[in-house]
Chains A and B, each alone.
Chain A
Amino acid sequence: MKLNQYKAFALIFVLSSIGTFTQAADITVKKVTGPLPTSPLAAVWQQAPATDVAVAPQQMTTPKLAKASISKITAKALTDGKSITWRVSWADPAPDFNVDVGRFSDAVAIELPLTKFAAPMMGHRGGGKVQIIYWRGLWQKDIDEGFQDVQNVHPNYLNNLYWFANDNKRPYHVPESFQNPVSQQWFIAHQAGNPMATFSRSEPAQELIAEGWGTLTNQPESATTAKGVWKDGSWAVIFTRPLNTNDPNDYQFSQGEKGQIAFAVWQGGDGNRGARKHWSFWTAYQMP
């Protein structure tokens, strides 16, 4: 039984008003004079005030997350007046990067409203549009260590032949060994232009929009850069974006605004993916 999204939104309002889903204090976006950090571990982050935001297991639509493994994330934000960097961190005893059947990557996303009163649960049908910026551990590893191929998960896999692979270098690494377009015929999702199947990624994050569950849509252009690092039992991921762009599907930040942001976290090691996630309600932030 799926809750109608309007009813779900109303339910959340009621719950939050009686304090069941406690709202954290506002996130303060701190102004810095120097350049914005390119790493979540940079020293300048110590200047930014931290705000804990509660997350709960998604239990409004199918498939639900039956059991949560974290209850909060910690958010920080810095701006230099031209761009903004959001930092999200959460506890995770072991990082999960690679994927396989039954194996999922850690991930985190931030969500910004593109229409007023959009529901925080990925927006809502009939005019509730949100921007989602999504980072994935698998993509971070693709960039840091090279495209994660079959042998990164199964080192002793060996196949003698892939049609039209253009050199004799076993085990035929993707994408270098598949330059011949004919050899790419069997990369079905890649050929279809699916952004999940990109072999040469420049950023470990993608920009998307949504208007309710099941409508998540990738954006062809992305102004966001991102980086995630796992250290000492936690993940820390930063998203950097210009405050303003020409893209109507980008949220436009403004000086002095009190805005809303929401977060979602996937613990890959617990089988989190898609709707099986931890999510937060709208959380207020204050721009300088």
Chain B
Amino acid sequence: MAKRNNSQLGREMEYPYDAPLPKKQVAYIFDINKCIDCQTCSVACKNGWTSGKGEEYIFWNNVETKPYGGYPTGWDLKLLERAEPAKWDGKELKSKTIFEGRSPLEPPLGHLPETMDYSAPNLGEDELSEAVAQGEHFEGIHPKWMFYLARICNHCTLPACVAACPRKAVYKRDEDGIVLIDEERCRGYQECVRACPYKKAFYNLVSRTSEKCIGCYPRVEQGDVALCVEACIGKIRMHGFLSTQSAPREDNPLDYIIKIRKLALPLYPQFGTSPNVYYIPPIHVPDAILKQMFGPGLEEAKSLYHKVKDDKQLLGALLLFGASNRIIEKFKVEGEEAIGWDIDGKEVARVPFTEPHYVHDSYDEKYGVYRHNTT
């Protein structure tokens, strides 16, 4: 076992392989506050990549409702039950990751879902945590809550799938940190399916191999965002690269939002894989559940989001979500606009802070009617 640094855990941890960080790390930010569970992302991914026989219940991208949803069913609950409860001392994890404290010759802590766990991707959709009582109303934090959690492969920095495969058929790319299953090499042992804490490696019984999200690497190589990111109607997603060979850059929107301002947090960091999909937490959901899911830094992130309308630089970065189908490598807030440039240095987004708007009189003289505010 090698010692690897995990910045999300504030400490070093054991991992089977020693390896340098990739030249840059693909990463995503999803703003949970804006997701409406339209599932356009799931449809975009499925049409593009998982429409084959055997892939009917393979959703590289899925959107589930928390608290009662999960695809496959109970993917997180089953692992939370097996693992010891997460213990944080400030920003340092005191409990064990899925790689640590294992018996000899045991792969990382994990489980294989049942077939039927894949049969109901929308189980629990739109279910509140509890029934709403007579007279209850919103008071800043919803007493009865739910939120939509959109999930893809996290292209982890310390992937459990890579660690678990006895044949080294899963690998992490050096150029951008995308994690891929080598479909020629896989013999379908399902060790990756068992080990992934997020259950984003899937078994295809027609090809008899395992399959996972490819990070839309053919698009990323050309500087385009992933299909799920481009399709997102709510513009909740940002896709780009975190700097690994230098300190985080102020003018890289991913570095800025995640590393510098710490507005977005990783999902279940306590498992220890250092996932690279970061979430802006839902500000109306109680803290207890969110601390279990997103770890330390939750209160600061929520408070930052509450104040974002007065934070020009951070707001400018957020305005670039969904502003282009190109990966924005560099951004700048200039005057009343946020500007984004792609990996070729071409300007691809220019978003005003205030949309151009017009105020109409309430009475329309020409037609002799009152205008209404309904749309």
Which residues of A are in contact with B by a Cβ distance under 8 Å? 1-2, 59-64, 98-104, 138, 148-150, 153-154, 157, 159, 161-163, 172, 174, 178, 185-194, 196-197, 213-214, 216, 273-275
- What's the nearest-Cβ distance from chain A to residue B121, in Å? 14
From residue A175, how far is it (CB to closest CB) to chain B in Å? 9
Q: Which residues of B contact A197 (CB under 8 A)?
A: 183, 206-209
| Interface bits B87-111 vs A (CB < 8 Å: 1, else 0) | 0000000000000000011110000
Residues in chain B near residue A213, CB distance under 8 A: 166
Closest to A190 in B: B207
A196 cross-chain contacts in B, Cβ below 8 A: 186-188, 207-209
The answer to whether A99 touches B205, judged by C-beta atoms less than 8 angstroms apart, is: yes
Q: Is B51 an interface residue (CB 8 A)?
A: yes
Which residues from B are CB-within-8-Å of A99?
188, 203, 205, 208
Asked whether B168 lies within 8 Å of A214 as measured between CB atoms, the reply is yes
B287 at the interface (CB under 8 A from A): no
* Further 13 A-B residue pairs, CB within 8 A, beyond A186-B53, A189-B204, A197-B183: A62-B107, A64-B106, A101-B115, A102-B114, A157-B56, A174-B53, A186-B50, A186-B52, A186-B55, A187-B206, A189-B207, A197-B207, A197-B209
Contacts of A161 in B (CB 8 A): 51
Q: Is the interface of A mostly helix, strand, loop or mixed?
A: loop
Q: B147 near A: Cβ within 8 Å?
A: no
B113 at the interface (CB under 8 A from A): yes
Closest-CB distance, B230 to chain A (whole angstroms): 20
A100 to B168, CA, bound (A): 22
- Contacting chain A: which of B76-84, B189-197, B262-270, B289-297? B189-197
**CB-defined contacts of A190 to chain B, threshold 8 Å:** 207
Across-interface contacts of B136 in A (CB, < 8 A):
none
Residue on B nearest A164 in the bound complex, by CB:
B51
Partner of B105, one of A64, A100, A186, A194: A64
The answer to whether A149 and B206 have CB atoms under 8 Å apart is yes
Report the minimal beta-carbon distance from A155 to chain B, rounded to whole angstroms.
13
B112 is an interface residue with CB less than 8 A from chain A: yes
Do the beta carbons of B105 and A62 come within 8 Å of each other? yes
Separation of A253 and B345 alpha carbons in the complex (Å) = 65
Task: List residues of chain A with CB within 8 A of the CB of B203.
Answer: 99-101
17 interchain pairs, CB-CB under 8 A: A63-B105, A63-B107, A63-B166, A101-B114, A101-B202, A102-B115, A150-B53, A157-B56, A174-B206, A186-B50, A188-B52, A189-B186, A192-B184, A194-B209, A196-B207, A197-B208, A274-B166
The reply to whether B112 and A188 form a contact with Cβ atoms under 8 Å apart is no
Tell whether B329 is near chain A: CB-to-CB under 8 Å: no
Nearest opposing residue in chain B for A138, CB measure: B208
Min CB distance B98 to A, Å, is: 14
A194 touches B184 (CB 8 A): yes
* Contact present for A150 and B54 (CB under 8 Å): yes
- Which one of B56, B106, B183 lies within 8 Å of A189 (CB-CB)? B183
Chain A residues contacting B371 (CB-CB under 8 Å) are: none
Q: Are the CB atoms of B190 and A101 closer together than 8 Å?
A: yes
Closest 5 CB pairs of A and B: A186-B52, A274-B189, A64-B105, A189-B207, A192-B184
CB distance from A165 to the nearest CB of B (A): 8
Return the chain A residue nearest B193 by Cβ. A101
**Nearest chain A CB to B295 CB, angstrom units:** 28
* A271–B21 alpha-carbon span in the complex (Å): 35
Judging by beta carbons under 8 Å apart, are A153 and B205 in contact? Answer: yes
- Of all chain B residues, which has the CB nearest A217? B185
Residues of A within 8 A of B105 (CB): 1-2, 59-64
In the assembled complex, which residues on chain A have CB atoms less than 8 Å from the CB atom of B51? 161-163, 186
Residues of the A chain whose Cβ atoms lie less than 8 Å from the Cβ of B56: 150, 157, 159
Q: Is residue B353 contacting chain A, with contact meaning CB distance below 8 A?
A: no
From B115, B183, B193, name the one whose CB has the most chain A CB atoms within 10 angstroms. B183
List CB contacts (< 8 Å) of B13-58 with chain A.
49-56
Contact partners of B171 in chain A: CB under 8 A: none
> CB < 8 Å: which of B164, B202, B205 contacts A150?
B205
The 8 Å CB contact of B187, one of A98, A103, A274, is A274
- Do A150 and B206 touch across chains, with their CB atoms under 8 A apart? yes
**Cβ B166 vs Cβ A275 within 8 A:** yes
CB neighbours (8 Å) of B54 from chain A are 150, 174
User: Of all chain B residues, which has the CB nearest A177?
Assistant: B53
In angstroms, Cα B33 to Cα A22, docked, is: 65
A188→B167 CA distance, assembly (Å): 19
Q: Which of A59, A100, A161, A216 has the most chain B CB within a 10 Å cutoff?
A: A100
Let me know if B104 and A1 touch, CB within 8 A. yes
Task: Tell yes or no: B211 within 8 A of A by CB.
Answer: yes
Tell me which of A102, A157, A159, A193 contacts B190 (CB under 8 A).
Answer: A102
Cβ contact within 8 Å between A189 and B209 = yes
B55 contacts across to A, CB distance below 8 A: 186
Name the B residues within 8 Å of A189 (CB-CB). Answer: 183-184, 186, 204, 207-209, 211
Cβ-defined contact, A149 with B53, below 8 A: yes
Min CB distance A164 to B, Å, is 10
Contact status A162-B53, CB under 8 Å: yes
Within 8 A of A (CB), among B51-76: 51-56
Q: Is B118 an interface residue (CB 8 A)?
A: yes
Assess whether A273 is in contact with B190, with CB atoms less than 8 Å apart: yes
Instruction: Judge whether A187 and B207 touch: CB under 8 Å.
Output: yes
Q: How far is the CA of A185 from the CA of B211 in the complex (A)?
A: 14
Rounded to whole Å, the gap between the CB of B183 and the closest CB of chain A is 4
